[in-house]
Structure 1
């Protein structure tokens, strides 16, 4: 059976991937951690618009899914950083082509979004 003929509800790798990266901010978190470990404040600045509550929850989810590791240095003041695990690194690398696609198609997407916004259709 080829991948394209698989039932994505039961055996498709895309289903598993989407379960890990579901959420508005998780793909961005993974992308930003590609350059190396980041502290919470750095991630907060990079993911502009995310609330503390949501960022903390998404970091916990990614840690539970074993794609990122949280290191608490047990210092005062507290110092904690987040880094990709090998599994997380492979997932973050898989996100790069999506970033490239978005960059290559940014003008067309901006036009589509502007038309959708003008028509009053809800955004996804």
Structure 2
């Protein structure tokens, strides 16, 4: 069975574009769930932003931006939001993909991996 899923990623990078920490990644099953995760993160960050950044972030979360992003995901298009704060660039992206789900009875059992002893070579 193939099901549509959504790959969500959040990164933070310094002004030199080096990623700070590990990107946060997860798979969700609906466009609404993906956008809800972005909105929660952006709202959490908003109080730390300068006034212009706060306004931009809250406008995206509470009005047109997140609605357009949800529409894009329903059409199979990627979407995202990014904002800068105190020299750090925050970016959220979402892409749809087809997730292949096989019924459990069709999956092969895992085979334990046994380490074979390495041959020892005589040195000359």
Higher RCO (CA-CA < 8 Å; seq separation 6+) = 2
TM-score, normalised with respect to structure 2: 0.27
User: Of Structure 1 and Structure 2, which has the larger fraction of its residues in strand?
Assistant: 2
Q: Highest CA radius of gyration, 1 or 2?
A: 2
By percentage of residues, which structure has more helix? 1
Q: Give the alignment's TM-score, normalised by structure 1.
A: 0.27
